[in-house]
Structure 1
Amino acid sequence: MLQIEDVLRDRGSRYAVTGGPVQGRAGAEAFLAELKRAKKFAKATHNTWACVFSEAGPVKNDDGEAGAGAVILKMLERAALVDHIVVVTRWYGGVHLGGDRFAHVVTCTRAYLEALQKQAAKA
Structure 2
Amino acid sequence: MGLQVFDRIISDRGSRYAVSGGAARSRAEAAALLAELRRGKRFARATHNSWAAILGDEPVRDDDGEAGAGAQILQMLDRAGLRDHMVIVTRWYGGRPLGGDRFRHVAAAVRHYLRETGLGDRGAG
Fold shared by both chains (TM-score > 0.5): yes
Q: CA deviation at 1:39?
A: 0.3
Per the normalisation by structure 2, the TM-score is 0.91
Percentage of identical aligned residues: 57
Residue 78 of structure 2 aligns with which residue? 77
Give the distance between the partners of 2:25 and 2:113, measured in 1 at CA. Answer: 19
- Specify the code of the residue in structure 1 equivalent to 2:49: N
Q: Residue 3 of structure 1: CA displacement?
A: 1.1
1:5 matched to 2:10? The reply is no
Runs of 4+ aligned residues of structure 1 deviating over 4 Å after TM superposition are none
Give the Cα–Cα distance (whole angstroms) in 1 for the partners of residues 61 and 117 of structure 2: 20
How many Å separate the matches in 1 of 2:70 and 2:100? 14
1: distance between equivalents of 2:24 and 2:52?
A: 11
User: 2 CA distance for matches of 1:94 and 1:51?
Assistant: 29
**Corresponding position of 2:88:** 87
Structure 2: gaps spanning 5 or more residues = none
Deviations, residues 10-44 of structure 1 (Å, cap 9, x unaligned): 00000000000012101111110010000000000
Aligned pair 1:39/2:38, yes or no? no
The match for 1:68 is 69
**Residue 110 (str. 1) matches residue 111 (str. 2):** yes
| C-alpha RMSD of matched pairs (Å) | 1.3
How many residues align? The count is: 118
Amino acid at match of 2:103: F
Partner of 2:23: 21
Output the CA distance in 1 between the equivalents of 2:91 and 2:82: 23
